[in-house]
Amino acid sequence: MGARTKAIFPLALVIGVLSFIWCEVSLNFQFHWVTNGDLGGGLALPANFQLIVWIAFITWGLFFAAGGDTAALGKVVVASILGSVAALLTFWIAPNLADLPDFWGISLMVAIMAFILVMILIAGDWYYVAGTFPAFAACFGWWVSTGLDNWAPNGGGVGSGLGSLSDPASAGSGAFAGALSTPFGWVWFDALVTLVIGAVLGVISAKVAALLTPRPRPAHAEA
């Protein structure tokens, strides 16, 4: 095993194991543990509070892109908060400008939030603007997946439990025949929590890999 392989293998192994654990935890959390009714086929109706498996991988990667150290954790968490709050404001304000079927209200709010997120760079080098856009996109993607609540009528669904899914008027417009229809406030909260978890997974993978990585042998002093 070459020196490069020895340096990379522990990190790859740790990330692989943690990826398996994260997928098991988040998917079971969403469809088995924190739920609100039986969907049939062994699956349950997800509650409003969900862990979104794919969102964590975004900040996990951003952690290493930002340097893979303690400072990187702070940068990614702050970027996640600011990016997700910008998304929340978009979900809240855009439908008051133009609702279904017009998109210009959403487009305008995205433009305004993008401008603000970049302008925050004047605050200093501590601000990781490159992390705010993926965080915003993660929230936006989850909003679309869960029915565009507050913009699309009944996008978040009405009521709760399996009974709401049997009625097309109350099921919502989210994925899985309305099973993932979620109020936009919960869309933001779920995404933010998962973004932070992804950054923490980055820290864990870096620290555990460092413990498993062989240290180079000290060079012997020549006589």
Those residues with Cβ within 8 angstroms of residue 9's Cβ, 6 or more apart along the chain or in another chain: 1
pTM: 0.92
Cite the DSSP H helix spans in the chain: 3-28, 53-65, 70-97, 104-119, 129-145, 162-165, 184-212
Q: Tell me which amino acid residue 29 is.
A: F
Helix, strand or coil, per DSSP, at residue 86: helix
Q: Per-residue pLDDT tens, the chain, 223 aa: give them.
A: 677 888 899 999 999 999 999 999 999 999 999 998 888 889 999 999 999 999 999 999 999 999 999 999 999 999 999 999 999 999 999 999 999 999 999 999 999 999 999 999 999 989 999 999 999 999 999 999 999 999 998 899 876 667 677 676 678 889 888 889 999 999 999 999 999 999 999 999 999 999 998 776 665 544 4
Distance from C-alpha of 198 to C-alpha of 65, rounded to nearest angstrom: 13
Q: Are residues 182 and 149 in contact, defined by beta-carbon separation less than 8 angstroms?
A: yes
